[in-house]
């Protein structure tokens, strides 16, 4: 009979131990729930701040990449434009079309000639002195009958 009591005592202590263990697990779960509620908002706010920082770094990196791509594309377009302009200029030159610089030089030359012509016109319209009798006689004689000066 002592064995039976000892067995039941052991059985009772195992059952009690299991009940105590289950109770502790239950209480630990409730404690975790309470703690998560209390610190959950703090954790959430912390995660939001961290997310904002990550987003700012990502945005900054993306902007730097876009700036670099824009510079590269701009340089490429400039080179393409330069090549196009050279080829068009070369084609026009082969066709005999004057360049802008050639037209400007020609325009300056025409302006100088025009000024010279205007100056000659003004000087030819200026009143002259009446020719002397001697100059008038020379002008009226034919060139073949003129005697050479001695």
Q: What is the pLDDT of residues 9-61, one digit of tens each?
A: 566 788 888 889 999 998 888 888 788 777 777 877 888 898 999 999 999 99
Q: Is the pTM of this model over 0.75?
A: no
Mean pLDDT of the chain: 80
Question: Per-residue pLDDT for 134 more than 70?
Answer: no
pLDDT tens digits along 74-102:
888 888 889 988 998 888 888 888 888 88
pLDDT of 127 over the 80 cut: no
Q: How many whole angstroms separate alpha carbon 92 and alpha carbon 106?
A: 18
Q: What gap in Å lies between CA 138 and CA 149, rounded to an integer? A: 13
User: What does residue 86 show for φ and ψ, rounded to 5 degrees?
Assistant: -65, -45
Helix, strand, coil percentages in the chain from 3-state DSSP, rounded to 5: 85, 0, 15
Least confident of 7-16, 35-44, 120-129, 131-140: 131-140
What is the residue extent of each domain of the chain? 43-119
Strands (E), the chain: none
Euclidean distance between the first and final Cα of the chain, in Å?
184
């Amino acid at each position: 009979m002592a064995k039976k009591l000892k067995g039941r005592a052991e059985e009772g202590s195992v059952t009690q131990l299991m009940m105590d263990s289950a109770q502790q697990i239950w209480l630990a779960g409730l404690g975790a729930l309470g703690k998560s509620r209390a610190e959950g908002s703090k954790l959430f706010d912390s995660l939001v701040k961290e997310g904002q920082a990550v987003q700012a770094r990502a945005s900054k990196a993306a902007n730097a990449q876009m700036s670099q791509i824009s510079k590269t594309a701009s340089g490429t377009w400039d080179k393409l434009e330069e090549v196009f302009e050279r080829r068009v200029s070369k084609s026009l030159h082969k066709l005999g079309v004057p360049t802008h610089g050639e037209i400007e030089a020609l325009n300056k030359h025409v302006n100088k000639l025009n000024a010279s012509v205007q100056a000659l016109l003004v000087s030819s319209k200026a009143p002259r002195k009446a020719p002397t009798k001697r100059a008038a006689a020379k002008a009226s004689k034919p060139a073949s009958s003129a005697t050479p000066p001695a």
